[in-house]
């Protein structure tokens, strides 16, 4: 029970993104504690090296010569990393004294290690590892199963960050709101739907949001005011989402928000928070305070439906929100818990 709570704590920290850009050490500290280990680390694969630039605060006990972003482990033919990448699974190394992969420094330390490769679109992105030098407990296959679940979720976050860095800002950003555009939404949702089909425990939800009476607002105050409203709503969305979420301008006055690791009920809470923030922050335009509201539809992905079916279900929930008086969040009726 204690371990299950610790796993949930790690998953929550990863999924909600409640850590700074350079502060993965909090996540990795929790992972080390989860396995009663001396340290843990994430290494990204670049060419023939594994670069360990995300480590727990205790990682120096395992690697005394560690320097941030400079700790590079070569992937040579008889290395542990090479064997791991060939298996594309995990390796438990409890006996480095008799291991063909161990270097002398590891043998001197009496290092024990559990390593897991994490994948993205069929390619190895990196390695998640935990290690011991002071504890006598060996790593087990049960440990490997838990680490596999963590590696899967970490791979989602790292793959998203890598893709965002690689994509052209001009091609995939809406210049008015600063959110991603429809093109990016279609691509990213396709990937997440495929991931949700494969992952039994992977929950994926979607919000569709539409500004209420936007045409009337444009007719009354002009398109300059309409643009200002879109910019302000984009700002509020950006400031009130988690690191793992992807917000897009879907078209005109409609927005779409992809919510990985999220049930429909959690999506409702996020949608309600955004709806309230938008309504409680009126727009100032030419000396007038203009209060704007949004209607929101929410739904959770149901395998094996297509991306289009998922969007349509969420859109129907949005339509219901409009019919029921606007300025509200409606969850698609058939809930998935």
Beta bridge partners of 129: 41, 115
3-state secondary structure of 211: strand
Query: Within 13 Å, how many C-alpha atoms sit on residue 178's CB side?
Result: 11
Rounded Cα distance between 287 and 334, Å, is: 45
The alpha carbon torsion through 325, 331, 332, 335 (nearest 10 deg) reads -150
What are phi and psi for residue 322, nearest 5 degrees?
A: -65, -45
Concatenated DSSP letters of 176-203: TTSSB-HHHHHHHHHHHHHHHHH-TT--
Rounded Cα distance between 118 and 90, Å, is: 9
3-state secondary structure of 285: strand
Tally of CB atoms within 10 A around 146: 20
Helices of type H across the chain: 2-16, 25-34, 80-87, 104-109, 141-166, 169-172, 182-198, 214-221, 223-239, 264-279, 307-323
Q: Name the catalytic one among 165, 253, 266, 333.
A: 253
Query: Are the CB atoms for 266 and 257 separated by under 8 Å?
Result: no
- How big is the CA angle at 104 (ends 99 and 109), to the nearest 5 degrees? 90
- Is residue 21 annotated as a catalytic residue, yes or no? no
The catalytic site residues sit at: 253
């Amino acid at each position: 029970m204690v371990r299950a709570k610790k796993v949930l704590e790690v998953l929550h920290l990863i999924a909600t993104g409640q850590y700074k850009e350079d502060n993965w050490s909090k996540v990795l500290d929790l992972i080390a504690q989860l396995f009663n280990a001396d340290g843990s680390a994430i290494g990204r694969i670049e060419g023939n090296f594994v670069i360990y630039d995300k480590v727990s605060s205790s990682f120096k006990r395992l690697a005394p010569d560690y320097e941030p972003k400079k700790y590079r482990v070569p992937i040579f033919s008889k290395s542990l990393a090479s064997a791991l990448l060939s298996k594309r699974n995990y390796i438990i190394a409890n006996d480095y004294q008799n291991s063909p992969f161990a270097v002398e420094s590891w043998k001197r330390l009496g290092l024990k290690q559990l390593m897991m490769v994490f994948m993205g679109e069929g390619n190895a992105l990196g390695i998640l590892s935990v290690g011991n030098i002071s504890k006598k407990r060996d790593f087990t296959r049960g440990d490997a199963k838990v680490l596999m679940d963590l590696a899967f979720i970490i791979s989602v976050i790292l793959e998203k960050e890598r893709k965002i860095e690689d994509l052209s800002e001009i091609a995939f950003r809406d210049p008015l709101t600063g959110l991603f555009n429809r093109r990016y939404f279609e691509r990213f949702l396709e990937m997440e739907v495929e991931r949700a089909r494969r992952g039994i425990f992977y929950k994926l939800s979607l919000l569709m949001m539409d500004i209420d009476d936007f045409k009337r607002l444009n007719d009354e105050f002009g398109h300059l005011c309409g643009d200002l409203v879109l910019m302000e709503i984009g700002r509020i969305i950006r400031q009130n989402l988690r690191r793992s979420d992807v917000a897009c301008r879907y078209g005109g006055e409609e927005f779409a928000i992809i919510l990985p690791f999220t049930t429909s009920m959690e999506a409702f809470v996020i949608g309600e928070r955004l709806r309230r923030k938008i309504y409680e922050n009126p727009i100032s335009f030419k000396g007038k305070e203009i209060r704007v509201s949004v209607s929101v539809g929410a739904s959770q992905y149901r395998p094996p439906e297509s991306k289009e079916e998922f969007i349509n279900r969420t859109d129907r929930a949005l339509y219901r929100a409009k019919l029921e008086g606007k300025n509200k969040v409606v969850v698609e009726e058939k809930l998935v818990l």
